[in-house]
Amino acid sequence: MALLHLGLLLFFIDPGLWFSGQPLPNVDFHTHANQAWRVVEGLEGWGRSWVYDVQLLAGHPTGVIFDADNKAWELWTYLLARLGVARASAFNSFVLLVHLGLVPTVYAAARLFGLGRRRATLAAGLAVLLWWFDPWLHWCWWIGMVAYAAAAYFALLPLALFFRFTEDRRPWQALACGLALGLAHLIHPYSFFILAPPMLALWLRARGRLGARGHLAVLGIAGLTLAVNAPWLAVAGQFWHYILDSALYGQSTLAVLGADLVEWLIDPEVSGQIGARTTTRWLVLAAALLGLREWGRGERRTLPFALAFGVLATLTYLGAYSRITAQIQPYRHIAPLALLATIPAADRLAALVAGRPWRSWPRSARLALALLMIPTAQHLFAEVTYYAQGILPRPHPPHSRGHWVIGASGHGSTPDYRLRHVDRDADAVAAWVRAHDDGQRRFLVELGHLGEALGWATRAQIVGGFTHRNLAHSMANLFRRVPSGALSEGDLRSYLDTYAIGWIIVSPDIPWLAGYRDLVEVKARIGPHVIYAVRSPAPLIAAGGGTVEASTNRIEVRGSDPGADLLLRFHWMETLACEPGCELRRVKIDAFDPVGFIKVPAPHPADLEIINTYEVQR
């Protein structure tokens, strides 16, 4: 099974990408790389896991809340970088570790739940099939949601260890569970929603048998989990007042359940952009339900699995109906649900094969089963080959003019859902930005992942990146305020001046922007990306004169007018302080951006520094 998994890994991800000197090339990989770069910078420079990031959104606290799903990845990158590993290679190696960890983790969890070696191997095999051929799990690791994909299978380990502890009450099981549970939440905090219901149920069931030491051990497991995650939780609490509504993606409903059943894709922002090829998932879930039915109420394993199934299925398809659960992107819980199903499914499938109940069936029933297996096998083959469109033969085009878009499967040609190539156009844009950035103007970037890529690949100040960042600072991004970006020329000039935008990068070109010739002019075209220069851009200092140089955690002003109020077009933050002998005040920006800019009231030194002290200033 491990060899099959390794072979598929080599097929789907070009081995050369691991050590290409760049983060893996896809959308969310750029977001997480940008976060990791800043966090590593904070740990190396200040011993802190977050920074005031002058490169993002006119000043943004990076490492505080939005990256809560990236903590283990950041820490791994930092530790390997400290050991001398190149930062990009350290970052990529976490992804490799996640892929390689699937088989041993599921196998170990299955063994802890009482499956024999063969059945545990089968459970790992089902997990391999889901990992590569379930549309949501494939989407997660392919697009860069690697941490959640990892949490979806790693959560099985602390659950299995806790089950064993409530049964056997051995100290090593409690210690191992605490460590695994802490790590699961460090990988992704939504592990809580996967694990809390079944673990709480197991604890309540065992309350009469655990004794005082056992209950103390359970409290110790919870305490160890909190201790492992306390550093980032404390920082997140400090900045929680900036958080925005997160009920934007993964908002599944019963309509999505129906679509998944009939393999329709109705909303890519709910279930990802991969076609809804869900046969493998439904077969595993069906086998798991048969397994739970076979276990019955008298089986000790039934409680945690049945409860987890019910909670995760409810979250997956009903979570959007509640404003509270909508905040955690409920559809994503289909991943742990499917992977959890591998254990009872493997147990039941192995029992069926061993028992061979079909031997007692009449010949007509066996023939019907054999005939039904033919279209099932055809459907599964079509589902597997869907992910190999990049290598399937193309059908011969008809003898007519025009572009031929029908693939070998008879459907429209799909993207190549492998990670094979670095985005050379994005590299070229980054090179152009590095060559033209003087640190005095910002770049407004329409395409989210391009903005993130420019964040880690350059030192430029970017207004852009992931459009729906869940912090109020993201309202500085024009394309969050107005998704099309379309404003009147006067309103656009006002916005560009407010945030000191000197360059605009759109992908592809925007006709209405090209028409504002008195406001912008085209400077470069790189692949699908068009770079505009803003005519007469506003400076980073709105009032008070002088020049400014900004870097992580620091804004330096030189030659300002001591007798005039100094207004900087950088976001205010409560941990910033002014030196020497000056104070900071918060100034309203506009109706969209609630964070505010920085004001230094007169009198103040002509030369001053604004630094992140990491302490709230009173």
Chain position carrying tokens 């054999």: 370
Find the mean pLDDT for residues 388-392. 71
pLDDT, the chain, mean: 93
Q: Are residues 493 and 604 in the same domain?
A: no
Residues 442 and 588 in one domain: no
Which helix (H) or strand (E) is 342 found in, with range?
Answer: helix 334-355
Residue 496 maps to a domain: yes
Is 507 in the same domain as 558? no
| Residue 498 pLDDT exceeds 90 | yes
> How many domains would you assign to the chain?
3
Query: Do residue 193 and residue 339 come from a single domain?
Result: yes
pLDDT at 408 exceeding the cut of 70: no
Q: Are residues 524 and 583 in the same domain?
A: no
Does residue 228 lie within any of the structural domains? yes
The whole-angstrom separation of Cα 560 and Cα 558 is: 6
Residue 505: inside a domain? yes
The percentage of residues in the chain with a pLDDT greater than 70, rounded to a whole number, is 96
Of residues 390 and 264, more confidently modeled: 264
Residues 569 and 506 placed together within one structural domain of the fold = no
pTM of the model: 0.93
**pLDDT tier at 400, thresholds 50, 70, 90:** low
354 pLDDT tier (thresholds 50, 70, 90):
confident
* Inside any domain, residue 99: no
Question: Model confidence over 288-326: pLDDT tens digits?
Answer: 999 999 999 889 999 999 999 999 999 999 999 999 999
- Residue located via tokens 């909670």: 311
Considering the domain architecture, whether residues 443 and 527 belong to the same structural domain is answered as: yes
Q: Are residues 150 and 206 in the same domain?
A: yes
Kindly tell me if the per-residue pLDDT of 196 is higher than 70.
yes
pLDDT digits (tens, 9 = 90+) for 603-615: 999 999 999 999 9
Domain that holds residue 332: 121-237+249-359
The reply to whether 160 and 300 lie within a common domain is yes
pLDDT of residue 390: 65
**Is 399's pLDDT higher than 70?**
no
Instruction: Answer whether residue 367 is part of any domain.
Output: no
Regarding whether 525 and 554 lie in a shared domain, the answer is no
Cβ-proximal residues to 230 (8 Å cutoff; 6+ apart), any chain: none
Taking the C-alpha atoms of residue 181 and residue 200, their distance in angstroms, rounded to an integer, is 13
Please report, rounded to a whole number, the percentage of residues in the chain having pLDDT higher than 90. Answer: 84
Residue 412: pLDDT band with limits 50, 70, 90:
low
Q: Which residues pair with 547 in a beta bridge?
A: 558
Q: What is the mean pLDDT of residues 166-179?
A: 96
The answer to whether the beta carbons of residues 23 and 91 sit under 8 Å apart is yes
The dihedral sign for the CA sequence 298, 300, 301, 307: positive
pLDDT score, position 375:
85
How confident is the model at residue 379, as a pLDDT? 83
Q: Where are the alpha helices (DSSP H) in 145-301?
A: 146-154, 156-168, 171-187, 191-205, 207-238, 254-262, 268-271, 279-295
Give CB contacts under 8 A, 24+ apart, made by 250-255.
250/329, 250/330, 250/331, 250/332, 251/319, 251/320, 251/326, 251/329, 251/330, 251/331, 252/316, 252/317, 252/319, 252/320, 252/330, 252/331, 253/317, 253/318, 253/320, 253/321, 254/317, 254/318
Report pLDDT for 402: 54
Look at residues 331, 359, 387 and tell me which one is the last residue of a structural domain: 359
Q: How many CB atoms lie within 10 A of CB 585?
A: 14
Which domain-ending residue is among 359, 388, 412? 359
Of 328, 359, 390, the position where a domain reaches its end is 359
Is residue 9, in this structure, part of any structural domain at all?
no
Alpha-carbon distance 578 to 99, whole Å? 47
Give the side-chain half-sphere CA count within 13 A for 528.
8
Does 527 fall in a domain?
A: yes
Residue 589 lies in a domain: yes
Q: Do 333 and 291 lie in a common domain? A: yes
Give the number of other Cβ atoms within 10 Å of residue 328's Cβ.
Answer: 17
Verify that 253 and 187 share a domain, yes or no: yes
CA distance 117 to 111: 7
